[in-house]
Amino acid sequence: MAEPTIHAGLNFRQSVDHMVDRAIEVMDLDRDIAAAIKPCTSVLQVTFPVLIKGRVQVFTGWRAVHSIHRQPSKGGIRYALTVDQNEVEALAALMTYKCAIVDVPFGGSKGGLYIDPREYSRDDIQIITRRFARELANKGFLSPAENVPAPDVGTGQREMAWIADTYKHLYPEDINHIACVTGKPVEHGGIRGRTEATGRGVQYALQEFFRHPDEVKKTGMEGSLAGKKIVIQGLGNVGFYAAQFLSEEDDAKIIAVIERDGVVINQKGLDIQALSYYLCDNGGVKGFAGGEYSEDGAAALELECDILIPAALEGVIDASNANRIKAKLIAEAANGPVTFEADRILQKKGVSILPDAYVNAGGVIVSYFEWIRNLSHIRFGRMERRFDETRGRHIVQALESLGGKVPNYLRDELIRGADEFDLVRSGLDDSMRLALQDIITTKLTMEKVEDYRTAAYVISLSKLARSYQDLGVF
Ligand code: GLU
């Protein structure tokens, strides 16, 4: 296969497209279908004034819809100073591929507002968010049936609650109004487990990876996640939960956490909960007693470690530093942290990469569950939990009537009915496991597929192509 030309300085959108092109090439996908899949279907740009403390400020936001072969189109809304049309389009495209990889029946979309949310009070952000939501709804870019946002960098539950409430006031007759956005607080139609979902998904992805010893061996590692040295970039919602679960439940060692103001390192493993409290109180990691601080965060990406988890923004590993990365495996918890050029360099160096469109899919998987919960207007487990408990108790009684005693730990497990948390985690785990099994099989069986990213895109593109063909587009 001829290597696509590597251009220096590709923008985010081009970088994603080049990765997709590599898959299109190895799978010999019909060029017309590829040309129909790749571009965004529609992009909205809105500019609106908001009165803040007696002064008018003008904001610009975007919502890109990459695909509508399944609806609604799904994807987060980002508040950051990196936001522009190119970024939003790239992220919308990633959402399409992501949903297809993990079998979530949504199209891809993404939105963003050019704003530094830390510069504004809670009340300001509420006014801005409600106004942005009105713009999106009025222009057909927000609705339970067609376009459903979620949290992303710089947004969270509270913004989603404001968006849902704004939509409800605009369309009170829409019985499914609460499903117009996911990632809401549980008291406002959210689902248990959504906040932790992306980080939890990162953990499940790595757990599944370590169930494939042959693949683990190719990276130069062996054994389980226990004791593996991990560097995490970004202790936001995704990075925090990933770090917390991997260290507490899998006994991995988080040896470095990179944040805005630098890095804190401890080869024995950082106390993530304590670091997160410290970060909340102090706005940075400098001064944290549980590790050694350095202000050169970027250099810490190059630390000797087993697994590097970039969990912040795109483009942090590019042609300028890729050669110096020493991790054996990169798990892309952020969207687009490795550029196309860097991806090539890392592959040549023998560094394995579990791609973003798979690794961080936990968020949208649980968003899918939330959306279904909202449409069905009932919490998962509400109907069957007590029934299952009673049945479990009868099983224990039946077993004990045969003589002997069921050990306590088994008795507890048997008589416990699953609650919403259990069901969400089980559904998330299942989706993450199946998707990686698919990716590994594709990599092992398809000629010319040498890396997990290309394998993931091959799977995604085949599903998309089939869907486009079934719909009669070709
Ligand atoms: N913003 C998240 C992502 O990039 C979640 C999207 C969603 O739940 O719709 O995948």
User: What was the pLDDT predicted at 28?
Assistant: 87
Residue 14: DSSP 8-state: H
Q: How many domains does the chain have?
A: 2
**Centre of ligand 1 from the C-alpha of residue 410, in Å:** 37
Secondary structure of residue 188 in the 3-state scheme: helix
CB of 313 closer than 6 A to ligand 1?
A: no
**Residues 450/457, Cβ–Cβ less than 8 Å:** no
Q: Nearest 5°: phi and psi at 249?
A: -100, -25
Residues 89, 148, single domain; the answer is yes
User: What was the pLDDT predicted at 90?
Assistant: 98
Is this structure's pTM higher than 0.85?
yes
Alpha carbons within 13 A on the beta-carbon side of 446: 23
Averaged pLDDT for residues 220-235: 98
Residues 356, 445, single domain; the answer is yes
Query: Per-residue pLDDT tens for 91-148?
Result: 999 999 999 999 999 999 999 999 999 999 999 999 999 999 999 999 999 999 999 9
Residues 349, 432, single domain; the answer is yes
**Residues 440/449, Cβ–Cβ less than 8 Å:** no
- Span of 5-9, 212-216, 269-273, 366-370 with lowest mean pLDDT: 5-9
**Confidence at 326, pLDDT banded by 50, 70, 90:** very high
User: What was the pLDDT predicted at 473?
Assistant: 65
Assign residue 434 the CATH number of its domain: 3.40.50.720
Query: Per-residue pLDDT tens for 263-280?
Result: 999 999 999 999 999 999
Domain boundary among 155, 190, 225: 190
- Examine residue 401 and state whether it is found in any structural domain, yes or no: no
Assign residue 130 the CATH number of its domain: 3.40.50.10860
**Confidence at 40, pLDDT banded by 50, 70, 90:** very high
- Examine residue 69 and state whether it is found in any structural domain, yes or no: yes
**Cis peptide bond N-terminal to 337, omega within 30:** no
Query: Per-residue pLDDT tens for 348-393?
Result: 999 999 999 999 999 999 999 999 999 999 999 999 999 999 999 9
Q: Which atom of ligand 1 is nearest to the CA of 98?
A: 10
- Examine residue 317 and state whether it is found in any structural domain, yes or no: yes
Residue 258, Cα to own-chain centre: how many angstroms? 19
CB of 367 closer than 6 A to ligand 1?
A: yes
- Examine residue 77 and state whether it is found in any structural domain, yes or no: yes
Residues 131, 184, single domain; the answer is yes
Task: Cite the DSSP H helix spans in 44-117.
Answer: 85-101
- Examine residue 410 and state whether it is found in any structural domain, yes or no: no
Residues 307, 347, single domain; the answer is yes
The Cα–Cα gap between 159 and 175 comes to 21
Length of the chain: 474
Query: Is a pLDDT exceeding 90 seen at residue 474?
Result: no
Domain of residue 182 covers 41-190
**Residues 343/148, Cβ–Cβ less than 8 Å:** no
User: What was the pLDDT predicted at 6?
Assistant: 43
Residues 244, 367, single domain; the answer is yes
CB of 73 closer than 6 A to ligand 1?
A: no
- Examine residue 387 and state whether it is found in any structural domain, yes or no: no
User: What was the pLDDT predicted at 373?
Assistant: 98
- Examine residue 411 and state whether it is found in any structural domain, yes or no: no
User: What was the pLDDT predicted at 8?
Assistant: 53
Residues 260, 160, single domain; the answer is no
Domain boundary among 147, 167, 190: 190
Q: Nearest 5°: phi and psi at 99?
A: -60, -40
**448 torsion bin: left (phi>0), alpha (psi -120 to 50), beta (else):** left
User: What was the pLDDT predicted at 472?
Assistant: 73
Amino acid letter, 469? Q
**Cis peptide bond N-terminal to 172, omega within 30:** no
- Examine residue 376 and state whether it is found in any structural domain, yes or no: yes
User: What was the pLDDT predicted at 4?
Assistant: 39
Residues 158, 257, single domain; the answer is no
Residues 319, 243, single domain; the answer is yes
Query: Is a pLDDT exceeding 60 seen at residue 39?
Result: yes
Residues 370, 227, single domain; the answer is yes
More confident residue, 281 or 471: 281
- Span of 245-259, 411-425, 459-473 with lowest mean pLDDT: 459-473
**N- to C-terminal Cα distance for the chain?**
27
CA 16, 17, 20, 25 dihedral sign is negative
**Centre of ligand 1 from the C-alpha of residue 76, in Å:** 5
Domain boundary among 190, 212, 227: 190
Residues 250, 127, single domain; the answer is no
User: What was the pLDDT predicted at 68?
Assistant: 95
CB of 94 closer than 6 A to ligand 1?
A: no
Residues 147, 254, single domain; the answer is no
The Cα–Cα gap between 395 and 288 comes to 51
